Chains A and B, each alone.
Chain A
Amino acid sequence: LAKTTQPISMDSYEGQEVNITCSHNNIATNDYITWYQQFPSQGPRFIIQGYKTKVTNEVASLFIPADRKSSTLSLPRVSLSDTAVYYCLVGVGYSSASKIIFGSGTRLSIRP
C-alpha cells in the first residue's frame, strides 16, 4: 500500500526555483507518480506525471531516482500565482489495481 510523505509547508520568493520532495517507500512496480496543484475552492489540477528518471513539461520537472522511493517536483521561477497546495499521488498503474492515495499535501507560499 503506497503511502506518501511530503513537507507540510514551504515558503519561497518570486523568481526562485522551488523543489518539493515526496517519499513513497512502498511504491509498487506498476505505480506512476503524479503531482497535482490545488487552489482554494477548486479541484486539484494535474501538473506532471512520471515513472522513472526525469520528466519535463512547460510548467515543471519531475525527478525520480532509480529506486523510485521518492520524487521531487521542481517549479522553475515561481510567481505569486504558484501559491497553492501541491499533492503527490502514487497509484493506479496502467495495469495494476493499486490503491489511489493522495499525500497530505505541501502548502507552498510564495512571497514578493
Chain B
Amino acid sequence: GAGVSQTPSNKVTEKGKYVELRCDPISGHTALYWYRQSLGQGPEFLIYFQGTGAADDSGLPNDRFFAVRPEGSVSTLKIQRTERGDSAVYLCASSLAVGGPQHFGDGTRLSIL
C-alpha cells in the first residue's frame, strides 16, 4: 500500500525566501508528525497533529516555522524568511493513533543558499 509521501524530495532556495513542504500521510492515520534531521544527528521533533489540530508544537524553533493540516490529512510545513541554518532534511511521519508506530516518508532535503 502507499506509504507517507513527501514533496518535493529536494528543495534549493535562497536565504530569505519562503518555502512550503508537503506531506501526504497514510490514509486513515490520525496522527502526523514533522521532524528535522541534520547530518549525523537523530530526528528533531518539530510538531505533531492529532486530526486537524496541532497537539504539540513545542519543537518549532521560532515563529518563522508554521504547519497546518486543515482537513486532517495532508499537512504543509511552512518556513518564512529562510536562513542557512534551516538547511536539513525535513521528515514527516504518520501513525494510526498517537503513540503508535510511526511510518516515515523519505524526507525533503532543504538547502538554503
- A46-B102 CB under 8 A given contacts A100-B33, A102-B44, A102-B45: yes
Pair B45/A101 contact, Cβ less than 8 Å:
yes
- Which residues on B sit within 8 Å (CB–CB) of A104? 41-42
- For A43, the chain B residues whose CB sits under 8 A away are 4, 91, 93, 104-107
Q: How far is the CA of A49 from the CA of B45 in the complex (A)?
A: 18
* Contact, CB under 8 Å: A102 / B43: yes
Closest to B3 in A: A43
User: Is B55 positioned at the interface, with any CB of A under 8 Å from its CB?
Assistant: yes
Q: How far is the CB of B26 from chain A (nearest CB, A)?
A: 12
Q: Tell me the minimal C-beta distance from B87 to chain A in angstroms.
A: 16
**CB-nearest residue of chain B relative to A30?**
B99
Tell yes or no: A76 within 8 A of B by CB.
Answer: no
- A94 B97 Cβ-Cβ under 8 A: yes
| A69–B27 CA distance with the chains assembled, in angstroms | 35
Q: Are A103 and B101 in touch, CB under 8 angstroms? A: no
> Known contacts A43-B91, A92-B99, A94-B99; is A102 also within 8 Å of B42 by CB?
yes
Q: Does B58 contact A (CB under 8 A)?
A: yes
Bound: A46/B101 CA distance, A: 6
Of B33, B43, B55, B107, chain A has the most CB atoms within 10 Å of the CB of B43
Q: By the criterion CB–CB under 8 Å, are B101 and A92 in contact?
A: no
The distance from the CB of A84 to the nearest CB of chain B, in whole angstroms, is 13
Which residue of the partner chain B has the closest CB to A39?
B106
Set of chain A residues within 8 Å of B43, measured between Cβ atoms: 44, 87, 102
CB pair B98 A92 closer than 8 Å? yes
The smallest C-beta distance from A83 to any residue of chain B, in angstroms, reads 16
B42–A103 CB distance below 8 A: yes
Give per-residue flags for B16-56: 1 if the beta carbon is below 8 A from chain A beta carbons, else 0.
Answer: 00000000000000000101000001111100100000011
Choose one: A42, A87, A99, A100; the contact of B106 (CB below 8 Å): A42
Which residues of chain A have C-beta atoms less than 8 A from B91's C-beta?
Answer: 43-44
Q: Besides the contacts A43-B106, A99-B56, A101-B45, what 6 more A-B pairs have beta carbons closer than 8 Å?
A: A43-B107, A44-B43, A49-B101, A87-B42, A99-B59, A100-B48
